[in-house]
Amino acid sequence: MPTVVLKSRVDRSNAAAARRVLARLGLKPSDAINALFAQIASRKALPFALATSDSSYAKEEYGLDENAVARVGARMRRETARERREGTVRGVSGIADLKE
């Protein structure tokens, strides 16, 4: 399979901490990136919430109030549950699950 080289800058302390965790899991950083990208491609979204605890991003970026943020969250949970039932979202417990 052809590959590409990605370069990015990350916080030194986060990189060191992540490398220690990955080493305990028997993974290389590239394995983690491949797993992340596979999940993004599969879900067509990030595989984790990317917001502050008070949803300030959604409020500031989209002008949503607390109720609108709650409605969007509920809709996303319903859509994810539906996609799981339909089999369009799959769970991954290890690198082997990502290989097709």
Contact 57, 51 (CB under 8 A): yes
Residue 100 has pLDDT above 60, yes or no: no
Q: If DSSP codes are grouped into helix, strand and coil, which group holds residue 61?
A: helix
Residue 71 has pLDDT above 60, yes or no: yes
d(CA 79, CA 82): 5
Of 4 and 52, more confident: 4
Tell me what pLDDT residue 19 has.
95
Residue 76 has pLDDT above 90, yes or no: no
Contact 47, 40 (CB under 8 A): yes
Q: Which of 79, 3, 73, 76 is nearest to 37 (CA)?
A: 3
- Based on the domain organization, do 30 and 56 belong to the same domain? no
**pLDDT mean across residues, the chain:** 85
Residue 34 has pLDDT above 90, yes or no: yes
Inter-axis angle of helices 29-43 and 12-25, nearest 10: 90
User: Residue 71 sits in which domain range?
Assistant: 49-91
Contact 59, 69 (CB under 8 A): yes
Tell me what pLDDT residue 85 has.
87
Domain-embedded: residue 99:
no
Reported pTM: 0.49
Domain-embedded: residue 98:
no
